[in-house]
Amino acid sequence: MSVDQITIKGAGGLRLAAEKLGDEKAMPVLLAHGGGQTRRAWKRVTHDLAEAGFCVIAIDMRGHGESDWSLDGAYELADFASDLVAIAAGLDSKPAVVGASLGGLAGMIAEGELAPGSFASLTLVDIAPRMETSGVMRVVGFMDQHVETGFASPQEAADVIARYLPHRRKRGAGGNLRHYLRESDDGRFYWHWDPLFIRNVMGSNRLDPERHEKQFEMLSQAACRLRLPLHLIRGGSSDLVSEEAVAHLRGLVPHAEYTDIADATHMVVGDSNDAFSATILKFLKHHHQSTEAGS
């Protein structure tokens, strides 16, 4: 099954790189990755969903991968959310949105605050309005550590990732890793996202107690307004979404469905791809009709 490389317009006409796979007439599923990732984080998932009869669109979020960087550093949650609203508005039918971490937060704001009714359903991948500060700090620390200095080689980046994800089998500096790096004129390799992203959204200000509380309230209010089918998928070993955070979200959205994937961390898709695909397909097929289901 061939993959089409396309460009989609986000908010304000910002160009977003994307991959499209599956029957164009089928139910669209929009995949929004986490902070610091690219659309390739969903590589195996896109094929699983397309083979099940869905039209899958995986995007590079603004400032990430091959998508445009925001010239004015617009990387607040509302900016990412506005992109999802713009993409949904340009499709022939409402998409089922699957958002990991940052993508999930943007999905909550988009559907719960900016433009209710834009999506057919929303799946949150290890993210909720209430987040564990220690987990957030670990993610922020990893992303901020080499944002200015970069790496001497892709192998050095691979070694850093291995220390960050010690539970995974260590991988070398293969072709897949290079999609997450860009080589600069100085010969060093940097993460394939705009450094202003870490400063504006994932920087230390986010951990300021007052700002953190305001964000918690904003996300909680957005979640309260969600009327569409909602699915929370948590990594059983997540250090960012606790059981208390799950209970809080389910209190806000009583109809929300919940799946815990054992042994997966915050990086659910990469840790347990097969279990994740099976879980998301069960939810999507229950609430939406794919071409396979309708054939």
What is the rounded distance in angstroms from the CA atom of residue 37 to the CA atom of residue 17?
A: 13
pLDDT at 206: 52
Print the domain residue range for 47: 4-131+212-294
Q: How many domains does the chain have?
A: 1
DSSP states of 87-136 as a string? HHHTSSSPPEEEEETHHHHHHHHIIIII-TTS-SEEEEES--SS--HHHH
pLDDT at 295: 42
Burial of 133: CB neighbours in 10 Å, binned 0-12, 13-18, 19+: exposed
Q: Is residue 272 part of a domain?
A: yes
**Whether the predicted pLDDT of 205 surpasses 50:** no
Q: Is residue 169 part of a domain?
A: no
- Rounded to the nearest integer, the mean pLDDT of the chain is 90
**Whether the predicted pLDDT of 51 surpasses 90:** yes
**Whether the predicted pLDDT of 147 surpasses 60:** yes
Q: Is residue 185 part of a domain?
A: no
Q: Is residue 181 part of a domain?
A: no
With a pLDDT cut of 90, the percent of the chain lying above it is 71
What is the rounded distance in angstroms from the CA atom of residue 226 to the CA atom of residue 245?
A: 17
Encoded tokens for 219: 């996300």
pLDDT tens readout for residues 132-142: 888 888 887 88
Mean pLDDT, residues 256-268 taken together: 94
Q: Is residue 20 part of a domain?
A: yes
Q: Is residue 245 part of a domain?
A: yes
pLDDT at 171: 61
pTM score, whole prediction: 0.92
**Whether the predicted pLDDT of 13 surpasses 70:** yes
**Whether the predicted pLDDT of 204 surpasses 60:** no
CATH number of the CATH domain containing 281: 3.40.50.1820
Q: Is residue 21 part of a domain?
A: yes
pLDDT tens readout for residues 228-261: 999 999 999 999 999 999 999 999 999 999 999 9
Residue 282 phi, psi dihedral angles, 5° rounding: -60, -45
Cα torsion angle, 117, 63, 284, 234, sign = negative
pLDDT tens readout for residues 24-49: 999 999 999 999 899 999 999 999 99
Encoded tokens for 33: 């990755």
pLDDT tens readout for residues 154-191: 899 988 888 887 776 666 555 567 778 989 999 999 99
Mean pLDDT, residues 122-129 taken together: 98
Q: Is residue 286 part of a domain?
A: yes
What is the rounded distance in angstroms from the CA atom of residue 202 to the CA atom of residue 142?
A: 11
